[in-house]
Chains A and B, each alone.
Chain A
Amino acid sequence: MGSSVNLFLISLGYRSGGVAPIFTNAPKLKMVLPTPQALTLTNIVIDLAIVAFMLSLVILIYKRYGSLDVRDGRLKG
């Protein structure tokens, strides 16, 4: 789900016929907006951290309970 939002963000900055928004050595055309690229980059890093954290939790849960079934956990209500 995170990837779809990232793609959405990048496509927001599109200008028709635009080129990559790099300042040096640029051909004299319209540039694609760079701000959503910054947003997307940050989002990718944050999602990476969250996924890493979730996966470590899952590893620990597996070690503790022996299975990954949600119903086997002791927390309910």
Chain B
Amino acid sequence: MVKKKMEEKNKNQGLSKIVKTTFFVIAVPIITFGLYVILHGHLTPGGGFAGGAIIANLTALFLITFGRNTVKKPYKEFLLLLESLALVSLILLAFLGLKSTFFYNFLANTGNIFGRAISYGINSGYLSTAGTISLMNTAVGIEVFAALSLIIIIMYTGPVGGEDN
């Protein structure tokens, strides 16, 4: 009887210490690679969706290594807020181009934050070229990360009444 109780306690505490340390070690390259894919969406394949999915892997790993009960309610609320915030910023960015039309790329070809003009021909990609596309990619990446993490958490720990999408 004592053995059974100890087994249950172990199960909810996740995997061993080695795995937990490795998780922290491997989280850094995952985040970096994910951010690389997101930010270079206009230059290399990937973009918002793929990069967000890469970072969402981190939540799945987190759940596996740390057990079912370490995810508390504030984390879920935070993810919901993050998701809404990212989506709202996406549409607001689209609105900002409204003096011409919706979704107008008002940062391209100016000198501003992402505004360098594209040079033709063979060159290695310059990061600050694409204007609003990069900002939108970032917003989409954050949103995909939040949404997929929510889906994984809700599927793993049971429904609480959060939304599915």
Q: Are A56 and B123 in contact (CB under 8 A)?
A: no
Interface hits, B31-55 → A, CB 8 Å: 43-45, 47, 49
Q: Are A59 and B44 in contact (CB under 8 A)?
A: no
Number of A-B contacts (CB under 8 A): 39
Q: Are A56 and B159 in contact (CB under 8 A)?
A: yes
Give the contact-size bracket for chain B: 10 to 19
CA distance A60 to B151 in the complex (A): 14
> Contact mask A23-56 → B, CB, 8 Å, 1/0?
1111110000000000001001100010011011
Per DSSP, chain A at the interface is helix
Q: Are B125 and A24 in contact (CB under 8 A)?
A: yes
Is there a chain B Cβ closer than 8 Å to A20's Cβ? yes
* Interface size of A in residues (CB-CB distance below 8 Å): 18
Q: Are A52 and B118 in contact (CB under 8 A)?
A: no
Taking CB atoms, residues of chain B closer than 8 Å to A20 are 45
Q: Which A residues form the contact surface with B (CB < 8 A)?
A: 20, 22-28, 41, 44-45, 49, 52-53, 55-56, 59-60
Q: Which B residues form the contact surface with A (CB < 8 A)?
A: 43-45, 47, 49, 118, 122-126, 151, 154-155, 159, 164-165
